[in-house]
Every structure is written in C-alpha cells, then in structure tokens.
Amino acid sequence: SADIEVVRAAAREFLELFHGESPRAERLGPRIAAVMREIELTGTYWHTAEELAFGARVAWRNNARCIGRLYWRSLQVRDLRTVSGAGDVAGSCFDHLQVAHNGGKIRPMISVFAPETPARPAPRIWNEQLVRYAGYEQPDGRVLGDPRYRTFTSELVQRGWQPPDVPGAFDVLPLVVETVEEGPQMFQLPRQAVHEVPLEHPELAWFAELGLRWHAVPVISNNRLVIGGVSYPAAPFNGWYMGTEIGARNLGDSDRYALVPEIAEQMGLDTSDEATLWRDRALVELNRAVLHSFTANGVSITDHHTESRRFLIHLEREERAGRRCPADWTWIVPPLSGSQTPVFHRYYTAETQLPNYLTDPDATHRSLQGGPPAFP
C-alpha cells in the first residue's frame, strides 16, 4: 500500500544517514534488505539499539526550536521499547526523573517506550511535561497555580484526581498514561521523583517569602519521536532548563503565573507609567532569582547569553560537517533581551528534517484540555 511505500522510503533514507555517520555500523546493503523484508511482513521494523540512539540524537540535532543542541551527541537513550503497560510506563517515567536529575548534575536523557505499530498503537502520555503544576480556578475567576493547566486540572478532577486538601500554587499534577487496552490511567508522582528548587534572590531578601519554586528537570512528554518511518509517541526527553523558560515564560507570562506586577510592587517601582520600564526591571530580577537559586541548590541551569553563544558554535560545527542546521528564529531568540544575544542578528532556514520531535495537534490538545482520549 501507499503507507508501506512511505515507511520503506523513510527507513531507507534513515539507514543511509545512520550508516553515513556511523563508521562502525554493520554493512548498509544487508541491513536495508533485512528492514525491507521486515516491513513487508509487519508493516514496520525494529530499530537496532544503535539506530535508536542515533535517531533520538539526530532528532534533537534537527529540532529547529531548540537552542541547546550543541551537546546533541551526549543524549542518553533509555531503550524501553518493550515497556507498554500504563503502570510500567509511569514507573519508568518516575525513574527517568530520578536518573536524569542525577543529584542536580542533570543528564540530557530520553526514555523511548513502545513504538506505534500496525499491530498495536503505542502508549500516550497526556501531560506536556512529566512535572506540571495544577491550576485551580477560583470562585472569583482567578487561578491558583499554573493557569496554563486550568482545564487539564479540572478534567483530571472530573476523572477522579484528588488535589491536596489545601490546594497550593505548586501542586504536581498526576501523570496520565493512556494505552489502548487500559484507557487513560492516572499516577501520582512519588515525592522522590520530583526535585524542586525554592526560589530566592541573591540580594532581595523578601523574594524568598513569595514562596515560589520550580521543578528541576524539564521532561517534555507529549512530542512524537519519528525515526526512519517509525513513530514513538511516548518518548519523554529532557535537557536542563535555560533560565528564561522559567523566569521569563512560566513565571512571567501574563497567562501563566504572571508574577511581574507583584515583584515590581515589592521592588517599590512606579507601576503607574510603562515608561519607567518597571516590567523590564522586575522581569530581570525574577530571572536572576531563578538562575541564582538553581545554582545555589546545585541544579544544572544555563542562561540565555551563554546558551546563545553555544548555539552559534553548534551552527558553525554543523556547517563544517557539511550539514544543514534548521533553526526557527522565533523560538531560538530568547524572550528576554533578545537583541543582546548574538542569535538575534542573523537569519536561519527552518525546513523540517527527519528524524525529529514532532508536536501533534491532538497531543497538544490532550496536554492542555485533558482529553479527548487517543483511543476512545
């Protein structure tokens, strides 16, 4: 069928890429022949462990949105393709959080669960990241916690999730893993899987009293890893945070924790006039607090200036290796002091190259709306 033809072509292209970059791989011709036979029989094929690791790393290298790609070779790949039950997937995710955290010295890591096959659809993780905070709509319409997950939270409550007796601004949501046999299942994250950093400011003593915190390891869990015609919808991966993701976006965006006005108030800034740049000043201090607190707690984090420079080194290396490096300006340029970073001052090409991590609209929908299930 036409589908099979697409899988064949994608497999061949990937195997050629892998063999072209892996001097010690087994010979290409026989491997392609074996894969073609396997596709003929089953409609898909099983990557070797080496192909899987290479594919996951190159998917990172190809992702146009990621500024952190300099270290793409260092990705640790956990081959969990035989894990497919909801409880096992959840348990392995909790292990992932522990192993990746590594006492604070975070390891870039991916856990690849069972692939999508004609015989059996792959499991799905509903959450956008393994650790996300609940958002509770209050009677006055305001949200306690992360407003981004307001609907997700209320849907999980409908499904039987019990929030803590006293709901707070940083309550970790349960992990939702869906399989075709079991439907969506919820799993409370064990305490030891969730490492968090309480936020304090290097100079402003009152900052610690705001009671802010953030989790240490950002594990994106709703992207689909695509390698050579094989899809892995459940393949959570992590790097370490760039400070702006927390300080500028998660805590600063007006539709997230929106803390800038409160911090400006505490700083005593004149918020009656935009031209005092009180937003900009408060935003910088919020970001300083994030970087300071992670570092003081021994948790890996990077700042946007350092990471921008590293990204340009990466671009140069890729160019020297004779490869294209797709990049999306709107994602690569940091949300804070954009023009102060060297990545601002150039153009990029942004075509999609495979392998890659793809954002499926239905997966995005599930991660924000808490449904509908993938297997209704």
Active site includes 69? yes
Q: Are 220 and 93 in contact (CB under 8 A)?
A: no
Residue 307 binds ligand HEM (CB under 6 A)? yes
The alpha carbon dihedral of 137, 142, 148, 151 has a sign of positive
Cβ-proximal residues to 304 (8 Å cutoff; 6+ apart), any chain:
242, 243, 244, 334, 336, 337, 341
**Residue whose token pair is 């075709």:** 180
Q: Which stretch binds its own copies (CB under 8 A): 80-88, 103-111, 142-150, 334-342?
A: 334-342
Site for ligand HEM in 67-96 (CB under 6 A): 67-68, 71, 75
**Residue of the chain from 44, 223, 293, 367 that contacts ligand HEM (CB under 6 A):** 223
Instruction: Choose between 100 and 173: whose C-beta lies nearer to ligand HEM.
Output: 100
Question: What is the DSSP-derived secondary structure letter of residue 171?
Answer: P
Q: Are 223 and 260 in contact (CB under 8 A)?
A: no
Q: Which stretch binds ligand HEM (CB under 6 A): 66-74, 93-101, 185-193, 274-282?
A: 66-74
SS3 per-residue string spanning 267-313: HCCCCCCHHHCHHHHHHHHHHHHHHHHHHHCCCCEECHHHHHHHHHH
Residue 331 binds ligand HEM (CB under 6 A)? yes
To the nearest 10 degrees (0 to 180), the angle between helices 2-21 and 28-42 is 150
Q: Are 126 and 90 in contact (CB under 8 A)?
A: no
**Residue of the chain from 45, 240, 257, 278 that contacts ligand HEM (CB under 6 A):** 240
**Residue of the chain from 65, 107, 256, 305 that contacts ligand HEM (CB under 6 A):** 65
**Residue of the chain from 86, 93, 333, 363 that contacts its own copies (CB under 8 A):** 333
Residue 287 binds ligand HEM (CB under 6 A)? no
- Residues near its own copies (CB under 8 A) are 243, 248-249, 252-255, 260, 274-277, 279-281, 283-284, 287-288, 291-292, 295, 303, 305-306, 329-330, 333-340, 342, 344-345
- Residues near ligand HEM (CB under 6 A) are 60, 63, 65-68, 71, 75, 108, 110, 220, 223, 237, 239-240, 242, 245, 302, 307, 331, 357, 359
Catalytic residues: 66, 69, 240, 245
